[in-house]
Amino acid sequence: MRKTVWILSVLLVGLAVGGYVFFSGERKAPIRYRTAPLERGTVVSAVSATGTINPVVSVQVGSQVSGLIQSLHADFNSIVKAGDIVARIDPSAFKARRDQASANLEIAKASSAKARTALAQEKREWDRLKSLLGQNFVSQNEVDVAGTEYQGAQAQLEVADAQVKQAEATLNSADLDLKYTVIRSPVNGIVIARNVEVGQTVAASFATPNLFLIALDLTQMQVDTNVSESDIGGIAEGKEATFTVDAYLGERFRGQVRQVRNAPISVQNVVTYNVVIGVDNKDLRLKPGMTANVSIVVARKDNVLTAPNAALRFTPPRAERGEGKPVGGGEPGAAPSRPASAKVRGLAEKKVWRIGAAGDPEALAIQSGISDGNVTEIVDSELKEGDQVIIGIETPRGAKKQDSLPPGFGSGQQRRPAGRDRGL
């Protein structure tokens, strides 16, 4: 009897230990997938870039003569009209040059008059000797000498007349330099930069010094932005564009592509192209030089079937892909189902996953169109609006990621961290 009780006790303990090991042993938890429905909506594809706000037309006002700034008649934000005086250069030295040139002209004119008188005298002397030659009162040699002197007097008069013209040109140049000491605005506009002060010396010997920068019209501005060569193909004149500036957070300004310039800009082997965007600035809130974060609309489609971009990036773990199982209605081991128009040129072939009847992920090939960064247009697929596609793996609340444990504290079976969407 005692032996029987001992045997039964041993059996009960064994059953208890076996049950504990069976029920408390490590089990592989089933993977739960996060899904999202396909929806219809509007997709706007845009190109982002950074640019600078500038006036449409700006004119640099410089000085054509060197000298000391005597006075300034315009300042920052001054509104000027064409012909208005904006600055004066000390004219003293230029007046002295002009007076000297005027005196030289008078001397040249006097020399010309003297040469003309001498020519008349030589002409009379030559005529008189020619009349006496017929009466044999003078020799032919004397007549020839008189003729030569007459021709010399003619040449001297021509030299004197040329000196008069030279003196007149010098006087005109001196007058022009004196005129340039008064600097005037060439256009109607507003002064946005002043680069000189009274008493400053400007030198125009090698390059024209820039005294003012005048914007023609600040109510019409433009954004000069650089777009990479990979994105320039979809941008053309007339495309809609929006941009933001740091001065007005949360507010979007609208514009339109005015010009796509063909000149390439290469910086460290990166090629970009200048895209000019016209902007209406009637309220004058946009200032020259502001940095603009630009978004240029390349394409827009309304009421199209869309899938979340997370669904296109998702790939299930290799052990859960169901290799050898029917995928998308095909035979075991077959490739994912492909839409009828899978070979349409200009469309990208991608793949999304859905949960099959057996609970395993099934792959479906789709033809994708434009994307706005959040959703992508589905051009052709056997999917329809409302179908659920996998966008990720649910992570149990409170579960730790395997890679967050210290070395040596992981379980014997390595597991892939859940909740991460992997790219295609």
CA distance 115 to 127: 18
Which pLDDT band holds residue 317 (cuts at 50, 70, 90)?
confident
Pick the more confident residue, 12 or 411: 12
Least Cα distance to 64 among 173, 183, 175 occurs for 183
Q: Which of 120-124, 323-327, 363-367 has the lowest mean pLDDT?
A: 323-327
pLDDT at position 1, please? 61
Which pLDDT band holds residue 287 (cuts at 50, 70, 90)?
very high
Which pLDDT band holds residue 323 (cuts at 50, 70, 90)?
very low
pLDDT at position 223, please? 96
pLDDT at position 344, please? 39
pLDDT at position 356, please? 84
Which pLDDT band holds residue 331 (cuts at 50, 70, 90)?
very low
Which pLDDT band holds residue 148 (cuts at 50, 70, 90)?
very high
Domains of the chain: 33-46+303-404 (no CATH), 91-180 (1.10.287.470), 216-300 (2.40.30.170)
With 70 as the cut, is the pLDDT of residue 415 above it? Answer: no
**Model pLDDT for residues 395-410, shown as the tens digit of each residue:** 766 554 544 444 444 4
Q: Residue 236 CB: number of other CB atoms within 10 A?
A: 12
As a whole number, mean pLDDT of residues 300-315 equals: 91
Pick the more confident residue, 336 or 146: 146
Share of the chain above pLDDT 70, in %: 81
Which residues, listed in sequence order, are joined to residue 47 by a DSSP beta bridge? 296
**Model pLDDT for residues 219-235, shown as the tens digit of each residue:** 999 999 999 999 998 89
CA distance 255 to 296: 9
pLDDT at position 20, please? 60
- The secondary element (H helix, E strand) that includes residue 144 is helix 140-180
Least Cα distance to 308 among 48, 46, 43, 33 occurs for 43
**Model pLDDT for residues 131-142, shown as the tens digit of each residue:** 888 888 888 898
pLDDT at position 224, please? 96
Pick the more confident residue, 106 or 356: 106
DSSP 8-state assignment for residue 337: B
Least Cα distance to 32 among 399, 419, 405, 331 occurs for 419
Say if CB 80 and CB 190 are below 8 A apart. yes
Which H, E and C letters describe 212-279, residue by residue? EEEECCCCEEEEEEEEECCCHHHCCCCCEEEEEECCCCCCCEEEEEEEEEEEEEEECCEEEEEEEEEE
Angle between helices 92-133 and 140-180 (to 10 degrees): 170
CB proximity list for 296: less than 8 A, separation 6 or greater = 46, 47, 48, 49, 227, 235, 239, 240, 241, 257, 275, 277
* C-alpha torsion sign, points 325, 331, 332, 337: negative
Average pLDDT, the chain: 83
CA distance 418 to 16: 35
pLDDT at position 116, please? 93
